[in-house]
Copies of this chain bind each other. A is one copy, B any other.
């Protein structure tokens, strides 16, 4: 007796025999699941793009194979440094032609925030999977458009939430879900750093869509959700600004915000571009606590609970992220904490509510 599955497997094997000699190493549809590699182009060759490229050198399931950049000299440098073939190099005028390139599976969009939406939609319409750096977009409306475009194109939309794959973070989450901290009633996230160059795009409202909240405060939003394992039902927020020259209208310097959850848990968070010594998560429950500092930096992350420190080897976050994202896209793997467009959208809904709370002074309901 032959099951349908066995039949498909046999069919694939026979296809393999035929296509193997003609297929490139990467485009073959016949590689065994665990041998498949996600072939990624990076769009935006700035400092974070470089960090991802370096991290991908150690990936087992993902490989940097292409670039999209508006700067020809950067493309030349990357071709040489990462062995990228000329045929996989694009600029912002011609990158839609990537749809005709069978050797690229996904594009990691690492451009300024305001370009995430148009670039992600452009990539989706070119038939490639989208990995979009956080924040996914400037607001929830943009996020919804991106989700729709990716659905219509039949491609994955993943958001660059590297912490969702970080070992110590996942261990704290595991213990929270297992009830080891009892009923978790309080999350505190202190996210921020003292930002440098006042001319960078992160301080440009048009490109960043805001200030510290879009860049670093979102870690506390996201962290509150994955640490508590609940979705907030209300938000309040307060803004203070000590340097209106550096932090212009619409560019938030410091915002404190609070979120209430269905269980009665509350999150109290700080987002700032004016202080260092932060990057701290604190999760408190009726039976115990977890404390992480650094909690979302590039690591190594430090975590301890009421039972002592959590020990785990540090692996470059972006290496794990890209390998895990390859497994999501290639194998249909489900991550413990989602990294899909819906997950990104949840944070954007909260960002919108925080800005509205700052503007109106009101408690914003999320239900």
Q: Which residues of A contact B (CB under 8 A)?
A: 183, 185-186, 188, 190, 194, 236, 238, 240-242, 254, 256, 258, 260, 263-266, 268, 270, 272, 274-275, 277-278, 282, 284-286, 288-289, 306, 361-363
Cα A263 to Cα B241 with chains together (Å)? 10
Residue on B nearest A264 in the bound complex, by CB: B242
Q: Are A275 and B185 in contact (CB under 8 A)?
A: yes
> A268-B256, A361-B362 are contacts. A242–B306 as well, Cβ < 8 Å?
no
Cα A363 to Cα B242 with chains together (Å)? 19
Cα A236 to Cα B272 with chains together (Å)? 18
Q: Are B289 and A277 in contact (CB under 8 A)?
A: yes
From the candidates B256, B286, B362, name the one contacting A275 in the complex (CB within 8 A). Answer: B286
Cα A260 to Cα B242 with chains together (Å)? 12
Q: Which residues of B contact A272 (CB under 8 A)?
A: 185-186
Cα A131 to Cα B362 with chains together (Å)? 40
CB distance from A176 to the nearest CB of B (A): 14
CB distance from A208 to the nearest CB of B (A): 21
> A188-B190, A270-B186 are contacts. A264–B277 as well, Cβ < 8 Å?
no
Q: Which residues of B contact A188 (CB under 8 A)?
A: 188, 190, 270
Q: Are A238 and B194 in contact (CB under 8 A)?
A: no
Q: Are A254 and B190 in contact (CB under 8 A)?
A: no
From the candidates B186, B277, B363, name the one contacting A238 in the complex (CB within 8 A). Answer: B363
Q: Are B268 and A185 in contact (CB under 8 A)?
A: no
Residue on B nearest A265 in the bound complex, by CB: B240
Q: Are A286 and B266 in contact (CB under 8 A)?
A: no
Given A185-B254, A236-B236, A242-B264, 15 more pairs with CB closer than 8 A: A185-B242, A185-B275, A186-B254, A188-B188, A188-B190, A194-B286, A238-B258, A238-B266, A238-B363, A240-B265, A240-B266, A242-B263, A256-B258, A258-B258, A275-B284
Q: Are A277 and B284 in contact (CB under 8 A)?
A: yes
Q: Are B238 and A260 in contact (CB under 8 A)?
A: yes
Q: Which residues of B contact A306 (CB under 8 A)?
A: 277
CB distance from A247 to the nearest CB of B (A): 11
Q: Are B236 and A238 in contact (CB under 8 A)?
A: yes
Q: Which residues of B contact A277 (CB under 8 A)?
A: 284, 288-289, 306
Q: Which residues of B contact A242 (CB under 8 A)?
A: 183, 185, 263-264
CB distance from A163 to the nearest CB of B (A): 22
CB distance from A329 to the nearest CB of B (A): 39
Q: Which residues of B contact A363 (CB under 8 A)?
A: 238, 361
Cα A268 to Cα B363 with chains together (Å)? 17
Q: Which residues of B contact A285 (CB under 8 A)?
A: 275
Cα A274 to Cα B241 with chains together (Å)? 33
Q: Which residues of B contact A282 (CB under 8 A)?
A: 190
Cα A36 to Cα B65 with chains together (Å)? 84
CB distance from A220 to the nearest CB of B (A): 11
Shortest 6 CB-CB contacts between residues of A and residues of B:
A242-B264, A277-B289, A256-B268, A240-B266, A256-B258, A275-B284
Q: Are A278 and B284 in contact (CB under 8 A)?
A: yes
Cα A343 to Cα B270 with chains together (Å)? 28
From the candidates B263, B275, B288, name the one contacting A186 in the complex (CB within 8 A). Answer: B275
Q: Which residues of B contact A361 (CB under 8 A)?
A: 362-363
CB distance from A352 to the nearest CB of B (A): 19
Residue on B nearest A288 in the bound complex, by CB: B277
Cα A256 to Cα B256 with chains together (Å)? 11
Q: Are A185 and B236 in contact (CB under 8 A)?
A: no
